[in-house]
Structure 1
Amino acid sequence: MIFKSVPLTKEDLSGIDNIIFDFGGVLFDIDYDAPVRAFSALGGKGFEAIYAQSGQTQLFDKLETGNISSQDFYTEVRTALGVNHSNEVLEEAWHTILLDIPKERVDLIYKLKSQFKTYVFSNTNAIHVAEFEKIVDRAMGIEYFKAAFEKVHYSNVLGFKKPYPESFTKYCQLEGLEPAKTLFIDDSLQHVEGAEKAGLLAYHIDVTKMDVRAVFQALLD
């Protein structure tokens, strides 16, 4: 079952033992469109054609499953966009997607831990992990963040990513979770749909209309 932009009730959560959270967009604030603007400012043509929240090209699939090195990623970006900037310049543009993490969201996860086992499943890459973990560390301490969850899993380490239903099946098998007793929360609809197909209860947060903190609080009420 998929819930979209409506508060979850205690009845909805009956039988739910586990909650898997998306990272970027749910726990960590991001700006999906910022890299398009940044690469365009560098003279890159057509970055939006190979990158989007709703779907990305094989290049980003390889990056987010750990199947391409950072060096090779930058080389392919230079070729695709017709630019000749250094890795450092491209990295700065790529990092513009990353904003900040409100500590109060993680504080609420600690409260949820008294009722549910909590997890993270993030589509990400080694380049971004190195940067956003610094941001998390400055905001609250990386250990405080990770201790809020049973496990924090990054797709580039797992070798599989959302939105494929089989990825959610693998995740649940990895952590010993029953899909029917697991809630998945994400701001990307295609990810939520993939989770639902794998048998999880799935909740779509429209971050343009909803307060993420209020959604978390509703899970406690």
Structure 2
Amino acid sequence: MPVLEVTQLRLKEVAAHDPALLASLSIVRGKLQTKSVFYTCIEDPTHIVILGIWSTLEAHHHFLASPARDEVLGPQEHLLDFISTVHMDLDAMSSLPLDAPVLALERRFIKPDCLDAYNQAVTDDVRLMAQGTIPFNVIIGWRCDASPEHPEALVFTGWPSMEAHAAFAEKTRDHAETSAIRQLYHNPEAWHGRNMERQDHQ
């Protein structure tokens, strides 16, 4: 099954809007054919996130272990530092709310023995979130490279602005759906980004 790569990188003395950075990212996208999109982090502009689709998880791992890795990614090493990569099963990039001015990603680290309860609660949680994100999609999934002992859920939502997301979160903080699912995971990590290639979103 296709998988989504979510890679977070730190900029090295280069701004996210630097044409040289975008050109380098675009060259790699063309070579790998991963339909990648590039986001600059609103909370920390020194971070960027790359989303790309691979045919399988093994295909990405094979590339990273091959000599082609240094040939393709080597020219970026003076621009970027690696932070992390996670993967999630996803049929296509078009499923993500990439048309939104702001993309939000939440990583939820499920508490021990709460997996079944989370699976039961997440449908109502998504239904509530979808009311706030209209017309943008809500996409949920499981991190497919996490250990079975530490399941991790990923939630992608689209918003007109980061402030709109914050306002909706505050409005629904005490809703039954939100309260119920929040008890099932700990230390969530949230991130908001703007597409680096969308001039109307800058």
Same fold (TM over 0.5): no
**Which structure has more strand as a fraction of its residues?**
2
**Which structure has more helix as a fraction of its residues?**
1
Q: TM-score, length-normalised on structure 1?
A: 0.29
Q: TM-score, length-normalised on structure 2?
A: 0.31
